[in-house]
Chains A and B, each alone.
Chain A
């Protein structure tokens, strides 16, 4: 099995383009301390685990259980999305496991139960391990502290209209869509995402070039995501497209129709640039189509990009 840092070579052997992101890379292209530093939280040490079960409910996808035979916490490899929540989110003590087990047994004998802090691993039993391709994509799309190399952005790797005041990505009369899969805390497989992107590609929309999911499409004109990761499960991923505002109803129909057949949740966001007076042309369209639009993100236009004329961003056009 190749190491996590060797995925470009592995992809080459498989005659596929190398992936466009490197979990563990620093935000602006630099590499992590070493490829071996790309870690996975797939192992809970059987030597250290005391089966306190504090890690069980904190797992976003329910991948951790207490094995009744082993009397230790175990991770379901298929469900785990490598989000690092258990490793990073739990505080740790470094208590002696034998001592903790003895106390727990003693309490258990008398039907007593200690009421500990619920966000603590008492013996620091969760141990990071090395990841290999293609499992490495799980962490890239699930751990918000890992930046996507293709965009340099943490989280889901997208800027959307949050920097529209300096990127001018979405102009007046245009609509930008963020179609997010697996949110909230449900998770998704790339096979479901590919079903949506293939349907969208047929409508001739533009996929945002500077988006981590677009980088996983060998040919964005088909919308197909590379075969070798289709069964990988991630906590969430976002597809971004852009259309004219007149096409918003059609795109919403396509997305909601495909979403009905998927085994995950699809969260839709739609954005536009406001008029100089701050009016949004999208509101009328959304009202007419019957969608709620009372919550969202408002870019205040305080970003500055001096001496550069407004231009359209580069996009992958399939029309």
Chain B
């Protein structure tokens, strides 16, 4: 999956967007990896991630299949990171999203010390990842760059919509839904936090950055007010 590679946005809007994920290679180091994935997530929880995910089960923001109708007025926060950690039961890709460099650096230091033996990647601005990894005493092994979009570019929406929708690289957050959330925030029908949570529930890998989403929605709302 290049799920996190092509997040759209100007560099300054991606400055505090860090997705760290752990995976094993099939047939190489996947034996006995379940406990290591759980440990990765448990360590991540201590450093204040804005989202956590398991690619086979979903993120901490999840839809409910038996919603109480009162949820239209009083919707419970259904995030349950403990359940997410406990339900990892097979080799997978687990991820943690951070919205500041201090949390990321302290997390990297602890992950390095834990010596899980899993492949750990940071998806972010590449220079920033290199810099923060060095701060944690790690020299990068490989790097993959996003060169952007080509082809029928007329099919792409405006910048804000694209920035929101590409925070789920699998395409589970549609342009229309992201646009609808922008409009609802502009109209004052929902807060940026509520709109971000709606979108995060569609991201099955749990890599949607709700802090960045709020910033984008606030920015749209401010521009609307002139």
Contacts and interface: CB of A to CB of B under 8 A. Distances in A.
B151 to A, nearest CB: 4
A155 B184 contact: no
B221 to A, nearest CB: 17
Interface in A117-167: 117-120, 122, 124, 142, 144-145, 147, 151-167
Contact of B2 (A58, A178, A262): A178
A182 B8 CA distance: 15
A229 B2 CA distance: 23
Given A255-B150, A268-B147, A274 B63 contact: no
A282 interface: yes
Given A260-B151, A265-B153, A295-B125, A301 B201 contact: no
Contacts of A273: 141-142
Nearest to B108: A300
Contacts of A304: 29, 115, 117
Interface stretch (A2-10, A11-19, A86-94, A217-225): A86-94
Nearest to B112: A302
B202 A145 contact: no
Contact of A93 (B24, B69, B118): B69
Given A282-B143, A295-B125, A88 B118 contact: no
A295 B130 CA distance: 11
A182 B150 CA distance: 11
B184 A264 contact: no
Nearest to A172: B142
Contacts of A298: 121-124, 126, 129-130, 133, 140, 142-143
A183 B147 contact: no
Contact of A154 (B1, B126, B189): B1
Interface string A288-302: 000111111111111
Contacts of A166: 25, 28-29, 119
Contacts of B108: 300
Contacts of A271: 142-145
Contact of A184 (B6, B71, B143): B6
Interface string B52-68: 00011000000111111
Interface stretch (B41-49, B173-181, B212-220): B173-181
A303 to B, nearest CB: 4
B56 A301 contact: no
A310 B34 CA distance: 25
Contacts of A56: 176
Interface string A163-177: 111110010000010
B160 interface: no
Contact of A297 (B55, B71, B123, B147): B123
A161 B130 CA distance: 16
Interface in B1-51: 1-8, 11, 14, 21, 23-26, 28-30
Contact of A301 (B68, B138, B151): B138
Contact of B152 (A120, A160, A186, A305): A186
Given A185-B175, A269-B2, A297-B122, A278 B140 contact: yes
Interface string A225-242: 000000000011010000
A28 B26 CA distance: 8
Contact of A238 (B2, B93, B124, B127): B2
A213 interface: no
A262 B111 CA distance: 43
Contacts of B129: 296, 298
Contacts of B7: 295
B205 interface: yes
Contact of A303 (B119, B122, B151): B119
Interface of B: 1-8, 11, 14, 21, 23-26, 28-30, 55-56, 63-69, 71-72, 75, 90-93, 108, 111-112, 115-127, 129-130, 133-134, 138-153, 155-156, 162, 165-166, 169-177, 179-181, 184, 189, 198, 201-202, 204-205
